[in-house]
């Protein structure tokens, strides 16, 4: 029994090391998502460096989740060239075919607002020629010690690579849709809170007006039946005299 375990344990350790070496580079994904606060009257930009040797497409998604009328101006710049511009939009998606490398500017303009800050959620995806967001392909990551270890153990690595690529692609999609759903949920919550505050304010105003009108009506009706009431006497006469 001891002899069997002395053989099995090293084999298991080699399998674990091979799997870790294969998966070590899979987590390097060129995805960026941020939630930023744009103060009123401000124009803020965020820079994303791009290497056209690695990346062929850049996708930008943005959404205003809170603040004012939930709109903002969006500008995508490369040096002094304006690539895309949105005016007073709640959300937007832009896909750029990368021909020139450099620092791309993702700008949000809230200069038209004097008192409302804007909370903006945006995502940046840098994709290769296959449309994948990972900087390194798992097939290339598997070349090395991990590949040799799996071959030595007689494990078919082709199927493992295919399964890992499929899992990676599905996880990227899940992460993207989760981020979009979070942004939608945050915006819906902000709209609901704003509507609740507006309804509460006008309900209080209407209640105060109704109570004031009711008190005034009671006062006027009582004055009609009181002989010594000046207001009642004026109402009974049907006119109000002014003395200067």
Segments in 66-144 forming alpha helices (H): 138-141
Tell me: the pLDDT tens digits for 80-102? 899 999 999 999 999 999 999 99
What is the pLDDT confidence band of residue 153, given thresholds at 50, 70 and 90?
low
With a cut of 90, say whether residue 208 has pLDDT above it: yes
Rounded Cα distance between 20 and 24, Å, is 6
Residue 220 located in a structural domain? no
Structure tokens belonging to residue 114? 């004097």
Total structural domains in the chain?
A: 1
Q: Look at residue 48 and tell me if it is in a domain.
A: yes
What is the Cα–Cα distance from 43 to 194, expressed in whole angstroms?
25
Q: b/e string for 152-184 if b means 16 or more Cβ within 10 A? A: eeeeebeebbeebbeebeeebeeebeebbeebe
DSSP H or E stretch at residue 244: none
187 vs 151, more confident: 187
Domain with 142, as residue range(s), is: 2-189
Tokens for 142, please give them: 């598997």
What CATH number has the domain bearing residue 124?
2.60.120.380
User: Is position 196 within any domain?
Assistant: no
Confidence of residue 182 (pLDDT cuts 50, 70, 90): confident
Query: pTM higher than 0.85 for the full model?
Result: no
């Amino acid at each position: 029994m001891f002899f069997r375990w002395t053989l099995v344990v090293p084999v298991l350790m080699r399998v674990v090391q091979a799997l870790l070496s294969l998966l070590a580079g899979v987590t390097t994904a060129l995805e960026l998502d941020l939630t930023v606060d744009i103060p009123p009257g401000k124009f803020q930009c965020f820079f994303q460096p791009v290497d056209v040797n690695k990346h062929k497409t850049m996708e930008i998604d943005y959404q205003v989740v809170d603040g004012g009328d939930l709109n903002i101006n969006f500008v995508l710049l490369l040096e002094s060239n304006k690539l895309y511009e949105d005016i007073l939009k709640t959300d937007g998606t832009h896909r750029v075919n990368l021909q020139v490398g450099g620092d791309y500017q993702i700008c949000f303009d809230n200069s038209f607002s004097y008192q409302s800050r804007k909370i903006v959620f945006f995502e940046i995806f840098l994709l290769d020629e296959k449309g994948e967001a990972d900087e390194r392909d798992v097939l290339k990551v598997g070349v090395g010690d991990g590949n040799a270890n799996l071959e030595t153990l007689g494990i078919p690595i082709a199927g493992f690579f295919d399964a890992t690529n499929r899992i990676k692609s599905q996880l990227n999609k899940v992460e993207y849709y989760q981020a979009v759903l979070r942004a939608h949920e945050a915006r819906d919550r902000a709209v609901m809170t704003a509507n609740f505050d507006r309804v509460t304010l006008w309900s209080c105003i209407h209640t105060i007006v109704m109570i004031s009108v009711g008190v005034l009506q009671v006062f006027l009706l009582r004055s009609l039946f009181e002989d010594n009431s000046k207001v009642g006497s004026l109402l009974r006469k049907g006119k109000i005299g002014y003395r200067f």
